[in-house]
Structure 1
Amino acid sequence: MNCKIKKTSDGNNKIKASVIVKKVHVVNSVLVRLTGGHAWVELGINNVEVVELNQGDVIFIEKGQYISFCHEKKSEEDHVQIIELNDEVLIELFPIMSHLSPVTLAKKVSRRIVTYYKIKDKPYISHVFFELNGVMRTRSELGYKEYLHSVYYVLSFFTCLQGFVSVIERTIKVKYCDKLYNIIINDINNKWTLELCASILYVSVSTLKRRLAMEGKSFREVYLDARMNASLILLRTTKLSISDIAIESGFRSCSSFSTTFKKYFGVSPKRLSLQIHY
């Protein structure tokens, strides 16, 4: 996938635009749906796999990987809808999914590691995405049960796909980098240090470093992933100014934020905001 952000007009003066985001770290598993247009998702960095999405397609992407995304919009009404699935939700839904999934499919193991699954649009899924796009609830919040049931409705269409339940089982095994990410993302404006995070996790600094290294991560990488993902969510779901998003993402200056954002995603926050909200 070699896309550039651009706007073009066809013979009927219809505007087409491409929205590109590069190297997004998927910290929580996500469900993604297109309301219109055409998109390409690159999964991985070295062994890249490209998945095409059309209007109404829904894709489940397993957490822990880097993706690049290109959405070719054909009208202003074409959007990308995202439901983020934290471990709390998947842990609660896993027993139901594993029980309902056919045993022959749930236990069959493929030599190839699958990190995504795609389905075509199903009845009422558009309504669920409209209600839950950009929303993530916790057990203590009002409406959590309704939220859980809605998420399960979408996931239920994936349970008949070979290996899907095994991916969910693999996903809910929480790693140290996930614990660290959750600490940072829940208070993104705090000045986090390795020592402070280690004390919250009740481990020594050397142990935390070693555990992160075993998972192929470093404190700096996780910290950056959290700040960049926080800024991307704000950019996509709010109309805050770039300077306000910079502050909300833990940056002291707008210029520093813009430079880091462009280096991380391959596009400036201002340009991406214009493409998302045009």
Structure 2
Amino acid sequence: MNEIIAVAKKNINEQLNLPFSIYSSHKEQMINNVPVLKPLLIFILNGKKQLGKSNAVECNSGTFVFLSNSSRVDMRNIPSQEEYFAVLIDFDHEDFSELPQNTAPHIEYIKGEICPVIEKALLQYIEFSSVAPSNVIKHRKREILEILYHSGYVDVCNIDSPPSLSEKVHSMISSDLSFEWSVDHIASNLFMSASTLRRKLKNEGNNIQDIRNRSRLSHGLHLLQTSQFNIGNIAELCGYQSQSRFTEQFKLLFGMTPREIRRSKMID
């Protein structure tokens, strides 16, 4: 695991545009309502991750958890030996097309051990991602799915779930946070009327403004975890003119302030 951590840190430090993310912290993070817009594979290389209310799912160092797309997931990241460190890879619907199809029910997550074969595949993917073009990387990413399947995790075929309407709207807004996504524009892109969009979102317990706010704040959370931008810049990038307003809304959604997230990543 140490070799993977070293290579991943080297690539991130070189500011490369990489097809994976690194989340690390030196203090515990307890983050509520984290949106998972695409199936998300998380390799816990150091520390411990707990998921769900009352920490229903616990993943120790040397394990992975594969999450289905979901509107809200509670996460707790717990350092061990002074650091929590995880590599995250998200997948698109088409990435699953080459896996065997079955009629088994959809599942919310898969949890497993990072065996030597999976460890080697992850290391090669991280190393390869720093030199290969993006149209080649997508094939290596799909190889990870196939390796998981042939390592006995056949439920990987059932981790991809058709997104809800709320998730589709969230993804649309997240694709360009600088664009003014009006209700009419969103409805047009989804081939429905504005009134139908509002009604269907209401049936899911959502509305456009709440989804817009979550989209912006989710991007802010990602930037806090993966970049060195100051909080004021992040607030601006997320469409907030006021850092205090950004902080207030961030705390309401995630249960931690942006400053608390940043402090958790600092070594005392």
TM-score (normalizing by structure 1) = 0.75
Is the counterpart of residue 165 in structure 1 residue 167 in structure 2? no
Is the counterpart of residue 23 in structure 1 residue 19 in structure 2? no
- 1:224 pairs, out of 213, 220, 232, with 213
Q: Residues 11-48 of structure 1, C-alpha deviation per residue, up to 9 Å, x if partnerless?
A: xxxx97312211212222211111201221116xxxx7
Offset, 1:153: 2.7
Indicate how the Cα distance of structure 1 residues 129 and 243 shifts in structure 2: closer, same or farther if over 3 A, else same: farther
Is the counterpart of residue 203 in structure 1 residue 192 in structure 2? yes
8 Å contact kept, 2:77–2:84: no
Where in structure 1 are there 5+ consecutive unaligned residues? 1-14, 100-105, 136-141
Large movers: runs of 4+ above 6 Å: none
Is the counterpart of residue 57 in structure 1 residue 47 in structure 2? no
2:111 aligned residue: 118
- 2:49 pairs, out of 33, 39, 46, with 39
Q: Residues 132-161 of structure 1, C-alpha deviation per residue, up to 9 Å, x if partnerless?
A: 99x9xxxxxx82333222322322244343
Identity among equivalent positions (%) equals 21
Indicate how the Cα distance of structure 1 residues 271 and 59 shifts in structure 2: closer, same or farther if over 3 A, else same: same
Where in structure 2 are there 5+ consecutive unaligned residues? 1-24
8 Å contact kept, 1:190–1:250: no
Q: Residues 115-141 of structure 1, C-alpha deviation per residue, up to 9 Å, x if partnerless?
A: 0001211232442574699x9xxxxxx
8 Å contact kept, 2:49–2:58: yes
The letter of the residue matching 2:220 is S
Indicate how the Cα distance of structure 1 residues 16 and 208 shifts in structure 2: closer, same or farther if over 3 A, else same: closer
Q: What is the rounded CA distance, in whole Å, between the counterparts of 1:74 and 1:216 in structure 2? A: 38
Offset, 1:167: 3.2
Counterparts in 2 of 1:78-157, with a 5 A limit?
78-85=84-91, 89-91=92-94, 93-98=95-100, 106-109=102-105, 114-121=107-114, 122-127=118-123, 130=126, 143-157=133-147
Please state whether the residue corresponding to 1:97 is helix, strand or coil: coil
2:4 aligned residue: none
Please state whether the residue corresponding to 2:46 is helix, strand or coil: coil
Please state whether the residue corresponding to 1:40 is helix, strand or coil: strand
- 2:224 pairs, out of 205, 211, 235, with 235
Offset, 1:213: 3.0
Q: RMSD in angstroms over aligned alpha carbons? A: 2.8
Q: What is the rounded CA distance, in whole Å, between the counterparts of 1:220 and 1:232 in structure 2? A: 18
Offset, 1:185: 0.8
> Matched residue pairs, number?
237
Counterparts in 2 of 1:179-198, with a 5 A limit?
179-198=168-187
